[in-house]
Amino acid sequence: MANITAQMVKELREGTGAGMMDCKKALVEAEGDMERAIDILREKGLSKAAKKADRIAAEGLVSVEMNADHTVAAVVEVNSETDFVAKNADFKMFVKDVAQMALVTEKQEIAELLDENHKEGKALKAVLNDRISTIGEKLDVRRFAKLSTDGQIAGYIHGAGKIGVLVEMLTDARSEEVLAMGKDIAMQVAAMNPKYVSRDEVDANYIAHETEILTQQALNEGKPANIVEKMIKGRLEKQLKEVCLLEQTFVKNPDVTVKQLVADTAKKVGSDIKIARVVRFEVGEGIEKKEENFAEEVAKQLK
């Protein structure tokens, strides 16, 4: 019997997208012949994953997982080609599994997370490829983020998994009121998508760029050059209130800003609260979506 090495299995996995054990069995059956092993996997329908590699996966789900005391949290995005698959119970469970793995991992890169063991007893990458073969669509564990804090973390999922938000709050308080406020702020972030938490984070390049645009807008409107400077200061001030979370009007109570909401809650619980970090994942953001005719797509699948 041919000596089947780990490198051979790795090479076959990368070339076909099939699971590790399936690759090993194919190599054994092929007596180490790589080309024959590929044919065996194709014959068994186990190399589907490779065929999906150039497809666009811009649908899917975002999931959030949290530890018991709200000091560690993770958010993940897993993509599929269609929203139909994203609503599948097995896919939802797989995304939850990925989020739970992200919660406990010490890794920081997707490639490293994919190499870690899934609860099924094999690498997450192999489980992903199994799901691709079963579902028949390209799936992608696109990204994850993990927050750890000495304070508290609140999370929120919007639109049945289309947007996920984590909010880190630096505070000594351990109160349901703090977590409720954090969830409200996470909802704010989901709805308003601020670029920054506070003005302190706004970089000079952003200010310079926006000033240039606002100046040109004012000049194009025919405003006299001597009043343009005052105008753009006012417009820039208004814009900063829109892009900075703490400056925004609170969506659940337009009479206060998010900054005032934080201050009021801090007073109630008797402890300082600072919004330190915010993470917002939206399914498919930044991915160029391919417009498909559904009838044509079905016809392709039937060929």
CB 26 within 8 A of CB 40: yes
Tell me the DSSP string of the chain.
-----HHHHHHHHHHH---HHHHHHHHHHTTT-HHHHHHHHHHTT--HHHHTTTS---EEEEEEEE-TTSSEEEEEEEEES-HHHHT-HHHHHHHHHHHHHHHH----SHHHHHHSBPTTSSBHHHHHHHHHHHH-S--EEEEEEEEE-SSEEEEEEETTTTEEEEEEEE-S---HHHHHHHHHHHHHHHHH--SBSSGGG--HHHHHHHHHHHHHHHHHTT--HHHHHHHHHHHHHHHHHHHBGGGSBPTT-TTSBHHHHHHHHHHHHTS--EEEEEEEEETTTT--PPP--HHHHHHHHH-
Q: What phi and psi, each to the nearest 5 degrees, are found at residue 282?
A: -120, 130
Question: Tokens at residue 250, please?
Answer: 């609170």
CATH says 56-148 is which class?
alpha beta
pLDDT of residue 13: 79
Rounded to an integer, what distance in angstroms lies between the CA atom of residue 125 and that of residue 13?
Answer: 10
pLDDT of residue 120: 95
- If we measure between CA atoms, which residue out of 93, 101, 94 comes closest to residue 75? 101
pLDDT of residue 48: 57
Which segments in the chain show pLDDT lower than 50?
294, 298, 301-303
CATH number listed for the domain at residues 6-51: 1.10.8.10
**Residues near 29 by Cβ (< 8 Å), separated by ≥ 6?**
37, 40
* C-alpha neighbours within 13 Å on the C-beta side of residue 281: 28
pLDDT of residue 92: 96
pLDDT of residue 302: 46
pLDDT of residue 253: 96
pLDDT of residue 128: 94
Whole-angstrom CA distances from 39 to 12, 84, 134 are 11, 31, 19
- If we measure between CA atoms, which residue out of 92, 106, 87 comes closest to residue 63? 92
pLDDT of residue 55: 73
Kindly list the strands in the beta sheet with 59-66, ordered across the sheet, starting from the edge strand earlier in the chain.
59-66, 72-80, 140-148
What's the pTM? 0.77
Question: Tokens at residue 107, please?
Answer: 């890794």
CB 43 within 8 A of CB 29: no
pLDDT of residue 229: 81
Domain regions of the chain by residue span? 6-51, 56-148
Rounded to an integer, what distance in angstroms lies between the CA atom of residue 77 and that of residue 109?
Answer: 13
